[in-house]
Structure formats: structure tokens, C-alpha cells
Amino acid sequence: MNRFIKIIFTIIMVTLSALIGYLISLGFNHYFQFEAYTFIFIIAGCVLLFGIIGFWISPYLIRFFNYSVEFVRNYIQKYTPQELIAGAIGLILGLIVNSLLLRPLYLLFLPFSFIGDNLLFTISNFIHPLVVIFMTAFFAYLGIIISINVGLHNVLSSDKFKKDIPGMDSGIKDFLTDEINSERFKILDTSVIIDGRILDICRTGFLTGVIIISRFVLQELQHIADSSDSLKRNRGRRGLDVLNKMRKDPNIPIHIYEKDYQNIQEVDAKLIRLAKDINGKIITNDYNLNKVAELHGVLVLNINELANALKPVVLPGEEMSVHIIKDGKEFGQGVAYLDDGTMIVVEGGKKFIGSTLQVLVTSVLQTVAGKMIFAKPK
């Protein structure tokens, strides 16, 4: 909360406190009938006293307000948009059921209001408000819990829900079914954060939507950064540095997702579950996670596949200049590399190691690991 808002809040608190003091002074005057001058002094004293009290407690109320907002924000972040909508619907339904039950409850306590000033009348007047408060809170909570646990959010996310309500605005349908959220949410795994190329991709603007960093991925990164192995430690710290740079970049929308899945042990399995819950896409360069996620029907964006797709296209018959740096696996072969790391195997190129020569591309082999070019001296 910035300074201006704190000042406004303090002024409001002092004003309300002074008003309470004024009302209390009027109450005193109603019972004791003070003289005019005495009443003025009492009003001034009460207003001043309660104004000071309001000024004194305002910083504590601001702290409490900030803590409450932060607590609610962190609690809400544990749930998906569909779960929040389902919870709101459940809350409304719970309050409707509660209002229907309160009417017969009122009729149940009604006879005691005609008994008169006795013990039963006093007890009924004391218990009835408590019962109303308890029932309202109970049915509101019950509606939220049932709507979330029963899977109302899954109904809201289904295609059938969208088709069965033809009169609903298309924008509302898209939000409820999370059809656009599949394009909005991009979930990063540990490997792609450590890799670091995701930062450059985000800065280019080609990757749209909100970048989701799950709490369990952050914990895994922290664990790697605290490892006794120097290689792992450096990798973990690099990943944390990449996240800090992403967070400080105003053009990269990044969101820390607090919800964890305590019943799932593996981080990859948690990522797949998270992607299903928020209907997002996983960004990774882990080949195994890529395949497992595809088996679960989760969309995956693989950084390595993107890098391979952006490599220059080389066709058989093209000429290029390469520098032979080592011999190949087969007899007489030489190996060279393009600037992007693509391997070029030159037949009979072993004798040209350490020199640059013109070669003619004979074939191109596309593998999962990347592209391999075969050539021969021109």
C-alpha cells in the first residue's frame, strides 16, 4: 500500500473515530442532561479522544488489511479459474438453500416470541441469531466444497457445456470453457528454465500468454542450487537467475502458481496434472517429459524442436564452405559444424582436417537430436 493510500486511510479512520466519539457524547447528554458549556467540552473531549485512538490504531489496521489481502491472494492462487467460478456458483446455491431453510426455522422460534418475559423467550432470542449465523456459514461453505469436489469446474470446462448454452455470449463461453486459456498459460519445467533460452524467446514476443512457474518447480530449482555437486549447483543458480530476469522484465507476464499436489511425488507428473487443471501447455526440452505428456493428451512446446525448425534449410546439391575439425566414425570421413551446431560429415574429408574447403551436399538426415548433413568435396 503506497503512502498516499495510507494517508487517505488514516484520515478516514480518524474521521470515523471522531464521529463515534461525537455519537457517544450525544448518548451521555441524553442520560445526564449536561449544561450547554459542559456539553460542548464533552463533545470536544470525546471527538479528540476517539480521533487520537483512530489515528493510533490506523497503522495496525493497515498492516492487518495488507496481511489479509496477501493471504487471500495466495489462497486464491491455489485454485484454477474454473474452480473459482465453480466455488462462486456453489456459494450462491448454498445461500439459496440456506434462505429456504431459514423460513421454517423462523416459524419454529416464532411461538416463543409470544410467551413474554421469561427464560424461554430470552433463550430463544439468544439462540436464534446464532443458529442463523451458523447455518449461513455452514451452507455457504458446504456449497463451495461440494461444487469444487464434485467436479463442477470440469463441467464448466467441457465442450458439451459450451454447446448446450447457445444463448450465452461467446466471450463468456470461452472464459468458462477455458478455450482461450490453452493459449494463455505456458507452464515451464525445470529443464527449460535451466537451459535459459526461454528468456530470449519471451523477449522476442513470439511466445504469447502468461508464463506459469509452479511452486514445486521453484522448490526443485532451489534444491538443485543448494546441491553439494558444483555442476548441479551452478545449473540451479543459472535457472534462478533466468527466473529473476524474467520476473523483472515488464514485457514478460509471469505468474507463480502456488497450488501443489501432495499426493503426487514426481515433478513431471505434477506438471502434467497442472497442465490438465488449467488447460495449459508445457514448455520443455526434456524428451521423456515430452513423450509422457503427449500420452496424457497435454500439449507440449519443445525448445529443441523449435531450435531445429529455425535452422537453415539445406538441400542436396547445394554448395557450402566448411572447416574440417576432426575425423569421423567411418574410414576417411571428416567432420565439420555449421554456426548453429549442425554436424556435417564429409566423405574423404579426413585428409583436409584443419583446412577449409568447398563441399557439395549429398543428403540430409533429420533425427530427434537434430539435423545431420552428408557432403563430399567438390
Residue 284 belongs to a domain with what CATH number? 3.40.50.1010
Q: Is the pLDDT of residue 161 over 50?
A: no
Distance CA(118)–CA(218), nearest Å, equals 64
Dump pLDDT digits (tens) for 115-136: 555 555 555 565 667 777 788 8
Report pLDDT for 47: 85
Dump pLDDT digits (tens) for 17-42: 888 888 888 777 777 777 777 778 88
If asked whether residues 212 and 274 sit together in one domain, one would say yes
Distance CA(257)–CA(215), nearest Å, equals 6
Handedness of CA 96, 101, 104, 109 (dihedral sign): negative
Distance CA(29)–CA(9), nearest Å, equals 30
User: Is 165 within a domain?
Assistant: no
If asked whether residues 255 and 141 sit together in one domain, one would say no
If asked whether residues 13 and 103 sit together in one domain, one would say no
Residue where one domain finishes, among candidates 309, 336, 351: 309
Distance CA(149)–CA(141), nearest Å, equals 12
If asked whether residues 252 and 363 sit together in one domain, one would say no
Mean pLDDT of 212-216: 88
Distance CA(220)–CA(239), nearest Å, equals 10
If asked whether residues 58 and 28 sit together in one domain, one would say yes
User: Is 324 within a domain?
Assistant: yes
Residue 310 is classified by DSSP as T
List the beta bridge partners of residue 186: 211, 281
Q: By C-alpha distance, which of 239, 210, 211, 243 is closest to 224?
A: 239
If asked whether residues 229 and 262 sit together in one domain, one would say yes
Q: Is the pLDDT of residue 165 over 60?
A: no
User: Is 147 within a domain?
Assistant: yes
> For the stretch 62-101, what's the b/e string if a residue is b when 16 or more beta carbons lie within 10 angstroms of its beta carbon?
beeeeeeeeeeeeeeeebbbbbebbbebbbebbeeebeee
Q: Is the pLDDT of residue 154 over 60?
A: no
Give the three-state DSSP class for 114: helix
Which residue type sits at 159? Answer: D
Report pLDDT for 148: 67
User: Is 263 within a domain?
Assistant: yes
User: Is 314 within a domain?
Assistant: no
Lowest mean pLDDT across 100-104, 260-264, 374-378: 100-104
Dump pLDDT digits (tens) for 314-347: 888 888 888 999 888 888 889 998 877 788 999 9
Residue 353 maps to which CATH number?
Answer: 2.40.50.140
Confirm if 297 and 281 have CB atoms less than 8 A apart.
no
Higher pLDDT, 76 or 8: 8
Provide the whole-model pTM. Answer: 0.49
User: What are the CB-based long-range contacts (under 8 Å, 24+) for 161-168?
Assistant: none
Q: In whole numbers, what is the pLDDT of the chain averaged over residues?
A: 78
Report pLDDT for 112: 53
Neighbour count for residue 217 (Cβ, 10 Å):
25
Distance CA(226)–CA(232), nearest Å, equals 8
Residue where one domain finishes, among candidates 76, 103, 128: 76
Report pLDDT for 335: 92
Residue where one domain finishes, among candidates 54, 76, 98: 76
Dump pLDDT digits (tens) for 250-292: 888 888 888 788 888 888 898 988 888 888 889 998 888 888 8
Of all residues in the chain, the percent with pLDDT exceeding 90 is 3
Distance CA(105)–CA(124), nearest Å, equals 12
Please, which pLDDT band fits residue 180 given cuts at 50, 70 and 90? very low
If asked whether residues 285 and 323 sit together in one domain, one would say no
Domains identified in the chain, total number: 4
User: Is 100 within a domain?
Assistant: yes
User: Is 359 within a domain?
Assistant: yes
If asked whether residues 32 and 94 sit together in one domain, one would say no
List the beta bridge partners of residue 371: 366
Q: Which three cell numbers stand for residue 38?
A: 459542559
If asked whether residues 291 and 191 sit together in one domain, one would say yes
User: What are the CB-based long-range contacts (under 8 Å, 24+) for 271-275?
Assistant: 271/187, 271/189, 271/214, 271/217, 272/296, 272/298, 274/187, 274/212, 274/214, 275/187, 275/299
Report pLDDT for 121: 53
If asked whether residues 217 and 235 sit together in one domain, one would say yes
List the beta bridge partners of residue 133: none
User: Is 111 within a domain?
Assistant: yes
If asked whether residues 85 and 62 sit together in one domain, one would say no
Mean pLDDT of 1-23: 81
Q: What residues have CB less than 8 Å from 289, skipping those under 6 apart?
A: 189, 191, 268, 271, 282, 300
If asked whether residues 194 and 292 sit together in one domain, one would say yes
Distance CA(123)–CA(118), nearest Å, equals 9
Domain around 369: 319-377
Distance CA(378)–CA(357), nearest Å, equals 8
